Chain A
Amino acid sequence: MSTINIEVDGQTLEANPGQMLIEVTDQAGIHIPRFCYHPKLSIAANCRMCLVDVEKAPKPLPACATPVNDGMVVRTQSERARSAQNGTMEFLLINHPLDCPICDQGGECPLQDQSIEYGANASRYHENKRQVKNDDIGPLIATWMTRCIQCTRCVRFSEEIAGVMELGMVGRGEHSMIKTHPDGEATPDQVGAALCSSVNSEVSGNVIELCPVGALTARPSKYAARVWEMQNHAQISPHDCVGANLNVQTLRGEIIRAMVRENHQVNGYWLADRDRYGYESVYADTRLKRPMIKDQSGWREVGWETALRHAAAGLNTVKQRDGATKMGALANPSRTVEELFLLQKLMRVLGSDNVDHRLRQDDFRDDLLAPLYPGSELEIIQFESLDRVLLLGSNIRKEQPLLGVALRQAAVNNAASISAINMLDYDFHFPLANTHIVSPGDMVTSLANVAVAVSGITGVSLDADIQKRATDTNAQEQAIAASLLSGDAKNKAIIMGASALNHFEASALSAISAWICEQIGAKLVKLPEANSAGAWLAGCVPHRAEHGKEVAKTGLNAKAMLAKPLSAYLLYDLEPGLDASRSGEALSSLETADFVVQCAAFVSDEAMNYADVLLPIAHYTENSGTYINCEGRVQASRAAADPFGEARPGWKVLRVLGNYLELEGFDYIDLADVQDDYVLGDEQIVSQSGASVNDSPVKIDSKAIYRYVETPMYRLDASLRHAAALQQTMDTPTPAVGLNEKTLVGLGLAAGAEVSVRQGEIELKLLLELDNRLPDNQAFIPAGYAETSSLSGYEPITLEAG
């Protein structure tokens, strides 16, 4: 495309035909005031703040909605431009309350900033200003709607990026207001506190930063600090494998709030709510403040030295009596590479390879064939240009909200054809070309059938192992294969999400996916939890040390460590009763064990039963270290504050524990020393193939009712479970049993009543809900709740009324 030239304020600028003037001036660093324009949103041109003087145009034109023309001459500072801009500002301020002194946005407010340059120093408006009621739109966003200038950025964000139009502008003219959908039959002017629905999007918090005034601000940090008093600390969100960049902000050493740090390779302008509000647990009442030990008289707080000595002595006793291989370490995959590295080193120097971070994984059969780390063969920025996608066991919208946003862009802008083979019919915010909902026992067969169809269309011969798992390809499977192969699409991917990677035949799913990818020229994308890539590279797996180095003898994986009790456990920021998918088993093993050391940021009810020593470690926001995302990107995070109470950074705790255990190689002076020890280079995107289609399929009883398990997005680890506002959202439901209608009727049960759930010896009572997203005979009972922690994994259960 040939470029054209325009002249702005006497400067010649090169531009692409059709570009909006404001894009060109932004690139050139020429400032034009604006409120409604945002590079990632559609153009509304409704605030009129960007008016500029264009030669030959009869009136000033809005730079955000004026396409450039060859030879166009623009003045942004002429008399005409300035008076248009000043005039707009005067109108905008007519109904604005000018309450900056009590406004949380003050100091970071585009309206405040631009009114200094374009506003008059006194108002000519002496009439009454309008008032707008504030709605309660949920626990994350505070509203002060009288300040709204109707730019509609929030509305466009909800519709175009978040993908669900939860906000809109109702009424007209002076009566227009930003609202959520009214509940029940409330009329627009009655809609007040209780009468409107909440904003439920998993990326809703972005409207706080988009809102150019103080109409929408962060609710958990309301009135907590003034912007100019806060300090920014560059951090990486540990909650998913995206590694969103953010600034955690502190006031006099105390963490107040988190805001996005733009990184156009990773998260762009956006954060997921989990990234933004996860910090809130840092000062939860449940923080573990001091080391504690348990002896005959029960739990008591002690000094660090006593606690570490106690921990070391306990571990040594077990080692001498039962041998090091009777000990195991389990870690939360959202911790930093440094901590995970030291944890596995400590275990291995002690003489045990029992280290793992995969407490939700069930199938470990292809560990030795696995790539260096599970991740994506696609860069994150390539998600938006995908054309053909198969989601396999993935609820990408809730698991990696920002990748969900990117995939939605692919669907909307690129007309990507997206299909899904899932075990639950998730509510996606993009259209699906094919939705194939199968029970967990049929996942491998369905995918094998798609492989058969691919081989039928392309003529390549099918792998014999895959053939063995296939049955008759049905119409949906055929359609999925056809969609993946249709047209001359270049950018294709198979995306494996949490429920595929945690499936009891994950290795077969990986292998078949890899085969299909190879045939159709697609990338294989595995999206594991949190900093899993970092955990693998740190050696926090039983079969490999750091950087994939071979180990002499493979240790026990997480499932094996918890299936039968070991003598001692070292738990790192984990509550296996909530973090393991086989939680019931995990709890009984931990309770049987002789000695359990828990390094934790929070006091945990379950640990009070099984642990012997509690060592308080820094919350993730108080921690410095490295994270590695799904594309192998190595990113550093800096502690935003000192650890709370007597908690210490995790790496220091592990280092000193190493000293008390008198282990070699624990003489680090600072974090950089630890980093030198395992030499973290730039990681590459690695091929994700390598699994095998295991020939011993897992047997499923087709008549039994199985407990289907997933962990809701804000229950994934302790730092989220203690984040108050996130716990009040719709994405943290009360645990219940879900059954589809057919299964419900078949069992003669009624939704809304209590049922008793039995799994082996275990019995518990839960509310029964109708959930038609499920296939037949599957009872959805979420993990991550104390109420359901006695259950274990995907196993048959019985349900009875009452």
Chain B
Amino acid sequence: MLNPDSLKQIELEAQKYPEDKRASVIMAALSIAQEEKGFLNNSLIDYVAGVVGVPPMRAFEVATFYSMYAHQPCGETQIKVCTNISCQLRGSDKIVERLEKRLGVKLGEVTPDGKIGLKEVECLGACVGAPMLQLNKDYIENLTPEKIDEMLDQLAGVGA
């Protein structure tokens, strides 16, 4: 189900932990699986549990506990906007409003063409640049609605 490269990465992760503590590998393994497949469906979670050597239910618990695991396709490009306290105080409401309006989707949804996923997240530890969002792997800080327009235009440009 996973390619040899991902399996090798999981094995590398496993070596960090004592052999009788295989459960510790679940988180890393799930991330690696998600990286390859885009999101974790149930059969993928079961498969990862098998690779790690834990009961499927145990992996299922972990996969549903952390918000960084996606259970549905979440768009080729992912925008994770922080609405936690610091960002909220610095106007994340406006940011969300602009994002939703421009993309035509609500928080937690993906644009109909499957290109962009919009997600609400808790504090990403970048309060110093609040309000902020994460675009794929990059943090974009000190946001204003205008900056959002700029960012989305750029994205559209890349896509075109």
Contact = CB atoms under 8 A, between A and B. Distances in A.
A696 interface: no
Interface in B111-138: none
B41 A185 contact: yes
Given A184-B42, A185-B43, A168 B58 contact: yes
Interface core residue of B58, B64, B71 (most chain A CB under 10 Å):
B64
Contact of A170 (B41, B43, B60): B60
A367 to B, nearest CB: 46
A165 B57 contact: yes
A436 B74 CA distance: 49
A172 interface: yes
A164 B55 CA distance: 8
Interface in B33-65: 41-43, 55-58, 60-61, 64-65
Nearest to B59: A168
Contacts of B64: 170-172, 188
A220 interface: no
Given A172-B64, A187-B71, A187-B72, A167 B57 contact: yes
A357 B140 CA distance: 80
Given A165-B55, A165-B58, A182-B60, 15 more contacts: A166-B57, A168-B58, A169-B61, A170-B61, A170-B64, A171-B64, A172-B66, A172-B67, A181-B60, A182-B42, A184-B42, A185-B41, A185-B42, A185-B43, A187-B72
B71 A188 contact: yes
A166 B41 CA distance: 19
A481 B67 CA distance: 51
Interface core residue of B55, B57, B66, B67 (most chain A CB under 10 Å):
B57
Contacts of B61: 168-170
Interface string A134-165: 00000000000000000000000001000011
A186 B57 CA distance: 14
A156 to B, nearest CB: 12
Contacts of A167: 57
Interface string A166-198: 111111100010011110111110000000000
Contact of A168 (B41, B57, B71): B57
A73 to B, nearest CB: 36
B-side interface mostly: helix
A555 B100 CA distance: 89
Contacts of B57: 165-168, 180-181
A183 to B, nearest CB: 8
Nearest to A172: B65
B120 to A, nearest CB: 14
Contacts of A187: 42, 71-72
A180 B58 CA distance: 11
A792 B64 CA distance: 52
Contacts of B58: 159, 165, 168
A159 B43 contact: no
Contacts of A166: 57
Contacts of A184: 42
A165 B57 CA distance: 6
Nearest to A167: B57
Contacts of A172: 64-67
Contacts of A176: 65
Interface core residue of B43, B58, B60 (most chain A CB under 10 Å):
B60
Contacts of A188: 64, 71
Nearest to B46: A181
A155 B55 CA distance: 12
B70 to A, nearest CB: 11
Nearest to A182: B42
A37 B152 CA distance: 53
Nearest to B55: A165
Interface core residue of A176, A180, A181, A186 (most chain B CB under 10 Å):
A181
Contacts of B56: 181
A154 to B, nearest CB: 12
A659 B65 CA distance: 71
A171 B55 CA distance: 17
Contacts of B42: 182, 184-187
22 contacts: A159-B55, A159-B58, A165-B58, A167-B57, A168-B58, A168-B60, A168-B61, A169-B61, A170-B60, A170-B65, A171-B64, A171-B65, A172-B65, A176-B65, A179-B60, A180-B57, A181-B57, A185-B41, A185-B43, A186-B42, A187-B71, A188-B71
A164 B54 CA distance: 11
Contacts of A169: 61
A520 to B, nearest CB: 29
A171 B67 CA distance: 9
B82 to A, nearest CB: 18
A174 to B, nearest CB: 13
Contacts of A186: 42
In order of increasing CB-CB distance, the 7 nearest A-B pairs are: A165-B55, A168-B57, A170-B64, A165-B57, A168-B61, A172-B65, A188-B64
Interface core residue of B65, B66, B67 (most chain A CB under 10 Å):
B65
Interface string A411-424: 00000000000000
B156 to A, nearest CB: 30
A168 B43 CA distance: 17
Contacts of B65: 170-172, 176
Contacts of B41: 185
B50 to A, nearest CB: 13
B114 to A, nearest CB: 18
A95 to B, nearest CB: 18
A550 B55 CA distance: 55
A184 B43 CA distance: 7
A427 to B, nearest CB: 14
B66 to A, nearest CB: 8
A188 B41 CA distance: 11
A562 B68 CA distance: 67
B58 to A, nearest CB: 6
A166 to B, nearest CB: 7
Contacts of A179: 60
Contacts of B67: 172
A165 B55 CA distance: 6
Nearest to B44: A185
A184 B65 CA distance: 19
B17 to A, nearest CB: 19
Nearest to B66: A172
A181 B72 CA distance: 18
A138 to B, nearest CB: 15
A170 B71 CA distance: 13
A634 to B, nearest CB: 40
A654 to B, nearest CB: 50
Nearest to A177: B64
A219 B71 CA distance: 32
A182 B64 CA distance: 12
